Amino acid sequence: MDKKYALKLLHNNGDPGYTEKGRDLNRFRCESKAYEKLLTSGVCERGFVPKFYGYINQIDPAAFHPTFQHFAQDQLNRAIEGMKEIHSAGVHHRDIYPKNLLLVHGNTDRLVWIDFDVAMTFTNFGPEQKARCDYEIALVKGLGDALKDDQDKGLPPNTKFY
């Protein structure tokens, strides 16, 4: 079977610990916790984020050459729907950029969110969490306009985000 998998590489800069307010600053822990929640809540299975298979320690990044997909304007609604699913799993993505959307070609093309290394997880959906979710949805909606402006000016894809 010809399946394709994505591999994310994190550079280990040591464990920075936590902020005074308790926010975890370790990108690996943030991402692995987020993916655990996304996997167990079914968001991965529903195709809004890639399935998390696990992790490998001490890999040589030079052995891999990742390819990047550009954001597709016609996929904006799927990006919004996906972010809502992520929120329903108790995860704030916190890194809303086109580079964190992956277009997966297949019988039915899918748009999936990646890069959860600065994500925050939550269990109670109170006013603060709702406000953060609303803010992230607004950011996703704004991606389409920002990228359209770039294209209208003949700029390379994602110019505003680099």
The 8-class DSSP code of residue 24 comes to B
Asked if residue 26 and residue 94 are part of one domain, the reply reads: no
Q: Is residue 17 part of a domain?
A: yes
- The pTM is what? 0.57
For the stretch 84-137, pLDDT in tens is 999 999 999 999 988 888 888 888 878 899 999 999 999 999 999 999 999 999
Give the pLDDT of residue 77. Answer: 85
**Are 148 and 89 found together in one domain?**
yes
pLDDT tens track for 26-46: 888 888 889 889 999 999 899
d(CA 121, CA 38): 10
Same structural domain, 86 and 149: yes
**Residue range(s) defining the domain that contains residue 3:** 1-59
Average pLDDT over residues 139-148: 79
**Is the distance from CB of 152 to CB of 125 less than 8 angstroms?**
no
Domain edge (last residue) among 9, 30, 59: 59
Alpha helices for 8-154 (secondary structure H)? 27-40, 76-88, 127-152
Task: Kindly report, residue by residue over 52-80, the tens digit of the pLDDT.
Answer: 887 766 655 555 434 333 334 456 888 89
What's the number of domains the chain is made of? 2
